[in-house]
Structure 1
Amino acid sequence: MTYSADIAEAARETARVTAAVTPDQLAGPTPCADYDTRTLVNHLVAYTGIGMELRARREPHPEGLDTRDFTAEPGWQAAYTAQLDRSVAAWSEPAAWEGEVNGMPAEGMAGMLFLELCLHGWDLARATGQDYAVADATAERLLDKVREYAQMYRDYKGFVEAAEVPEGAGALETAVALSGRDPYWAG
């Protein structure tokens, strides 16, 4: 099953959030305890921008991608938006969803990339005083993916234990909490 439309919506929202980041916010804290905003942005660009397209095309990550400071480059926000467009286009191709990517079923890889895109997009929104909003169906897809991969992410120290949410919390809040983030984080 493919969910290119959910990936596209999350990419649009994450691009919107990224476009509003100001240079003075880059040193600020984020809901990810190990990342300041600059580190979060660089991770986001490397893995959900460039890496997402490369995974769809079964191409290796270039050397130094994980240490590059994209925020030091002029026009980094527009470049990231353009890269997200290429990533969305790559995952819109039926062939991207077939076979394996790095020994994992392609749908599983897409799910993990979608999860990263949404959660780190949410992290960036919170870190910069913005809201992160996707349609209910996309939030439900995210919640499904967080439930599917939460233990694996915890095993690899990508998530901490789930946070509490009140009964009746929406899918986005619940997904954020299940990933170990405080859905009400405010800095």
Structure 2
Amino acid sequence: MTFHEHLAAGAAEAARITSGVTAGQLGDPTPCPEYDTRALANHLVAYTGIGMELRARREPHPDDLATRDFTTDPQWAAGYAAQLDRSVAAWADPAVWEGEINGMAAEAIAGLLYLELVLHAWDLARATGQEYRLDDAAAAALLGMVREQAEMYRQYKGFAEPVEVPAGASDLDLALALSGRDPRWTA
């Protein structure tokens, strides 16, 4: 699989997870202590929906993107799914993967977006009692990215300290644990 295919798989799962979030769950806790479910959903929409397309197009984020409450729209999850389709399509252009975006290699930006997309969709799934599904190849790609970026993310408080997992844990569980998430977390 190409990395774009992993990005598309992560987007499809994020869309599926957000479609299962109910209005009554928006105040619930998540594995990210700084976010309740509403804040986490808004973060996903802003950075992995809209932000992913803006990055591909080399366009700046609107100043208010991080503070919008997308969940006030009853159709926010459907809007996010449609935005993810546009974002994945924007990254389908081979030219997008060339050069730099905001001073970083485009491939590196895509990797960071993938981390945000998969890890926070997993967080949202856990917070709302849903099963998160990622195929083995996409999980292996995630683990590789987490291993590559873990120390930088920890320096900037994006990841907590690693969590122990039993021997033989899946690549997804290893990636979660290395990012400071407890794969067994429940609300």
> Fold conserved (TM > 0.5)?
yes
CA distance in 2, matches of 1:16, 1:61: 25
CA distance in 2, matches of 1:74, 1:33: 25
Partner of 2:4: 4
CA distance in 2, matches of 1:25, 1:124: 10
What amino acid does structure 1 have at the position aligned with 2:94?
A: P
Partner of 1:34: 34
What amino acid does structure 1 have at the position aligned with 2:6?
A: D
Identity of aligned residues (%): 66
Q: Report SS of the residue matched to 1:186.
A: coil
CA distance in 2, matches of 1:55, 1:61: 8
Structure 1 contact 2–107 (Cα < 8 Å) conserved: no
CA distance in 2, matches of 1:96, 1:184: 37
Partner of 1:119: 119
After TM superposition, the score normalised by the length of structure 2 is 0.98
C-alpha deviation, 1:74, in angstroms: 3.0
CA distance in 2, matches of 1:122, 1:29: 13
CA distance in 1, matches of 2:20, 2:77: 9
After TM superposition, the score normalised by the length of structure 1 is 0.98
Partner of 1:85: 85
Superposed CA deviations along residues 32-76 of structure 1, whole A, max 9, x for unmatched, are 011000000000000000000000110000120000000002311
Written as runs of structure 1 = structure 2, the 5 A alignment for 1:138-157 is: 138-157=138-157
Consecutive unaligned residues in structure 1, runs of 5 or more: none
C-alpha deviation, 1:2, in angstroms: 5.3
Q: Report SS of the residue matched to 1:116.
A: helix
CA distance in 1, matches of 2:27, 2:19: 17
Structure 1 contact 13–132 (Cα < 8 Å) conserved: yes
Written as runs of structure 1 = structure 2, the 5 A alignment for 1:101-180 is: 101-180=101-180
Partner of 2:17: 17
CA distance in 1, matches of 2:8, 2:2: 12
Query: Aligned residue pairs: how many?
Result: 187
- Establish whether residue 69 from structure 1 lines up as the match of residue 54 from structure 2: no
CA distance in 2, matches of 1:40, 1:23: 13
Q: Report SS of the residue matched to 2:129.
A: coil
Runs of 4+ in structure 1 deviating by more than 3 angstroms, as ranges, are none
